[in-house]
């Protein structure tokens, strides 16, 4: 029998929204928008709607993330369990509202761009649902990290670019790789922080399946590879101002030290999110 997680406070709306993670939506959508403008295909209205849609769907995914935990809390009848179930159900209802709002904005974009964007958006929504939704439950099968790389990284950058520019470009996929790696690193930071709770609850995240040491190694590889990749793209003549990513080294030290020491890991996700934001802003500036 699976043992329940021991931190009911994680389901409170403020924490379940995971505010530090919005660097993901802002940066990945912002990168797609910036690339469209760098390629002289910019549009103000579509740019604003793309970023807003990305933030709404990121919030929805964050809130849906804990829905599968109902299986572990509903069998219990104590006051704590009832309170947790109420919080999870409330978060799920809010997630549905955010999803519907995001879909409404997405439909407007489809009317501006074409049915291909609808297919891409539907694929992304299904991918977000499958993260914790049955029968897929990527999170519970150790597939959350690669799924985030694809759905919350490459797909969002390419989708944002297409929604604004109304065309595809292979360079966009290549340039999406560094921010996709940091999306995965941010999820790994959460998994490392929640390792004990997830293991007790029988939630099969990648970190639970591999162990903390291999997961930490993957996290560090994601974190430390993005600036060398930026220089490589500069060498390939597709990232003119790669040096704008260098200031992010100043905020790389904190998450690096934290994951090496493996102490007070509750601070690791916001530190990772901070690095993501600083690097991402520099990377966006570098495309012009």
Q: For 9-49, how does the pLDDT look when each residue is reduced to its tens digit (9 = 90+)? A: 778 888 888 777 787 889 999 999 999 999 999 999 999 99
Cis upstream peptide for 109 (omega within 30°): no
**What are the boundaries of each domain within the chain?**
12-286
Give this prediction's pTM: 0.83
Q: Domain 12-286 belongs to what topology?
A: Farnesyl Diphosphate Synthase (1.10.600)
pLDDT digits (tens, 9 = 90+) for 63-118: 887 777 787 788 887 888 888 888 888 999 999 999 899 889 999 999 999 888 88
């Amino acid at each position: 029998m699976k043992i329940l997680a021991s931190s009911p406070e994680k389901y409170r709306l403020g924490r379940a929204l995971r505010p530090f993670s919005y660097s993901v939506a802002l940066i990945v959508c912002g990168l797609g928008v910036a690339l469209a403008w760098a390629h002289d295909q910019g549009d103000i209205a579509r740019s604003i709607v793309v970023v807003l849609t990305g933030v709404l769907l990121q919030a929805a995914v964050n809130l849906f993330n804990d829905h599968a935990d109902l299986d572990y809390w509903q069998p219990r009848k104590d006051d704590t369990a009832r309170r947790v179930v109420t919080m999870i159900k409330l978060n799920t209802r809010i997630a549905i509202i955010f999803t519907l709002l995001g879909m409404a904005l997405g439909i407007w974009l489809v009317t501006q761009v074409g049915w291909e964007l609808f297919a891409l958006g539907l694929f992304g929504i299904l991918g977000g649902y499958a993260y914790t939704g049955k029968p897929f439950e990527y999170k519970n099968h150790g597939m959350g990290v690669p799924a985030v790389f694809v759905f919350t990284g490459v797909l969002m950058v390419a989708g944002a670019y297409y929604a604004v520019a109304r065309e595809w470009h292979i360079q966009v996929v290549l340039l999406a790789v560094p921010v996709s790696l940091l999306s995965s690193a941010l999820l790994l930071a959460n998994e490392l922080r929640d390792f004990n709770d997830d293991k007790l609850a029988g939630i099969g995240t990648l970190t639970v399946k591999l162990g903390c040491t291999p997961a930490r190694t993957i996290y560090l590889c994601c974190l430390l590879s993005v600036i060398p990749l930026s220089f490589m793209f500069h060498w390939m003549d597709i990232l003119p101002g790669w040096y704008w990513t260098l200031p992010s080294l100043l905020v790389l030290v904190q998450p690096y030290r934290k994951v090496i020491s493996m102490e007070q890991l509750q601070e690791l996700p916001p530190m990772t999110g901070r690095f993501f934001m600083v690097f991402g802003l520099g990377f966006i500036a570098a495309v012009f």
